[in-house]
Amino acid sequence: MDNRERVFNFSAGPSMLPLDVMESIAGSLTNYAGSGQSVMEMSHRSKEFEAIMNDAETNLRELLGIPENYKVMFLQGGATLQFSMVALNLLRKTKKADYVVTGAWAKKAAQEAAKFGDIRIAATSEQSTFTYIPTVKREDFRGDADYVHITFNNTIYGTHYPYVPDTGDVPLVCDMSSCILSEEIDVSRYGLIYAGAQKNVGPAGVTLAIMREDLLGFAPKSTPTYLDYKIHADNGSMYNTPPCFAIFVAGEVFKKIKREGGVAALEKANNEKAKKLYDFIDGSAMFRCPVAEKDRSLMNVVFVTGDEGLDKKFTQTAKAEGLYNLAGHRSIGGMRASIYNAMPMAGIDKLIGFMKEFEVENRGQA
């Protein structure tokens, strides 16, 4: 392959970014908007960077329809640090929280929270290798829980909630790392939404948190300053040096989404991409999707041949064709095509074309 040619990268994250965004950034990499400096070099207190930060927040608010009574924070530490920040800040009365465990990340979130309080698993699909999303109702949660935690899109297992659980007055906390900005959401249903950026938003290094204001300010006195949401909310994510460049790139992605019809347009495109791939898999004699149909993810499409050796051959030969990172997560094997916002339909078409050829060439081996 020509080494200047870009590949289709199906990685679960970090993942593809929009090419036009990267090209426009490259154009101003050493001299941003006539400032004489790169965004990488600039003071986070400079007027240029303050404008970058304000625009990023304003555009994200507009894209997701974030109500006035929610704070937007740009944090570090990934979704993983949110697992403990959530518990530290939100176990504020009874120290009880209920978790729905729908995958490895959900399980990690619950395990981390258990260091700080009384954590109960309200429902899990672990007994069937997380191939579906359990149906949970208000009665499944403790009425005096400080919060309920869910993982909206399960990156490793390729599932996604087909509904938003009703938790009554108990705040709902949601990890949206692998689906934020891929579909329209009603932010007002949640007490807190968080998402690492490196899947659908921008480069690794920044984590978004969207939090209802009345939930701020309950972290115990012993909480490390950085881990108190209120510190970040009160300081506009500038209490300390924020991940400036990652925020800048995310902000450029937000502008692009706005220019191109907002989240609704992305949702439509994502539905079309995913449908095409699932339809092909469902019609294939070699490939199979192990996930319950109603719970299938639009972002992470998991499939298998049923033969480990053949799966391996698939991901290796695909790579030679410029279709990268199609191996499933190391914990479950098989294949996974992560088709986030920045994956074009051309990538889906090329993948399907390759799958067809592979099927013909390897018929009788599965």
Ligand X SMILES: *Cc1c(COP(=O)(O)O)cnc(C)c1O
Instruction: Compute the distance between CA of residue 363 and CA of residue 366 in angstroms, rounded to an integer.
Output: 7
Please give the helix or strand (H or E) that residue 252 lies within, else none.
helix 244-259
155 binds ligand X (CB under 6 A): yes
One DSSP character per residue, 52-89 reads HHHHHHHHHHHHHT--TTEEEEEESSHHHHHHHHHHHH
Residue 154 Cβ vs ligand X, minimum distance, rounded to whole Å: 7
**Which region, judged by CB under 6 A, interacts with ligand X, from 21-29, 174-182, 184-192, 271-279?**
174-182
Residue 339 Cβ vs ligand X, minimum distance, rounded to whole Å: 14
Q: Which of 206, 188, 184, 189 is nearest to 197 (CA)?
A: 206
Residue 68 Cβ vs ligand X, minimum distance, rounded to whole Å: 27
Residue 123 Cβ vs ligand X, minimum distance, rounded to whole Å: 17
**Where do the DSSP E strands lie in the chain?**
8-9, 70-75, 96-101, 118-124, 147-151, 153-154, 159-160, 172-175, 192-196, 207-212, 300-303, 323-324, 335-338
Contact 219, 228 (CB under 8 A): yes
Tokens of 252: 């450029």
Tokens of 81: 């640090």
**Residue found under tokens 């998402």:** 195
Q: Which of 179, 214, 211, 213 is nearest to 196 (CA)?
A: 179
Contact 258, 64 (CB under 8 A): no
80 binds ligand X (CB under 6 A): yes
- Name the residue with the smallest CB distance to ligand X: 78
Interface with ligand X (CB under 6 A), residue from 9, 15, 59, 178: 178
334 binds ligand X (CB under 6 A): no
* Residue 35 CB burial class (10 angstroms; 0-12, 13-18, ≥19): middle
> What single DSSP character describes residue 329?
P
**Which region, judged by CB under 6 A, interacts with ligand X, from 60-68, 78-86, 238-246, 306-314?**
78-86
105 binds ligand X (CB under 6 A): yes
Terminal CA-CA length for the chain: 29
CB nearer to ligand X: give 104 or 286: 104
Query: What residues are annotated to the active site?
Result: 105, 175, 199
Interface with ligand X (CB under 6 A), residue from 21, 63, 72, 79: 79
| Encoded amino acid at 271, one letter | N
CB nearer to ligand X: give 80 or 84: 80
Residue 204 Cβ vs ligand X, minimum distance, rounded to whole Å: 7
Residue 13 Cβ vs ligand X, minimum distance, rounded to whole Å: 5
CB nearer to ligand X: give 155 or 315: 155
Interface with ligand X (CB under 6 A), residue from 151, 237, 315, 325: 151
15 binds ligand X (CB under 6 A): no
Region 211-270 residues binding ligand X, contact defined as CB under 6 A: none
Tokens of 53: 């930060």
**Which region, judged by CB under 6 A, interacts with ligand X, from 75-83, 139-147, 210-218, 315-323?**
75-83
CB nearer to ligand X: give 178 or 182: 178
Does residue 39 sit in helix, strand or coil? Answer: coil
196 binds ligand X (CB under 6 A): yes
297 binds ligand X (CB under 6 A): no
Instruction: Compute the distance between CA of residue 214 and CA of residue 158 in angstroms, rounded to an integer.
Output: 33
84 binds ligand X (CB under 6 A): no
Does residue 278 sit in helix, strand or coil? Answer: helix
Interface with ligand X (CB under 6 A), residue from 9, 125, 159, 177: 177
CB nearer to ligand X: give 72 or 201: 201
| Binding residues for ligand X (CB under 6 A) | 13, 78-80, 105, 151, 155, 175, 177-178, 196
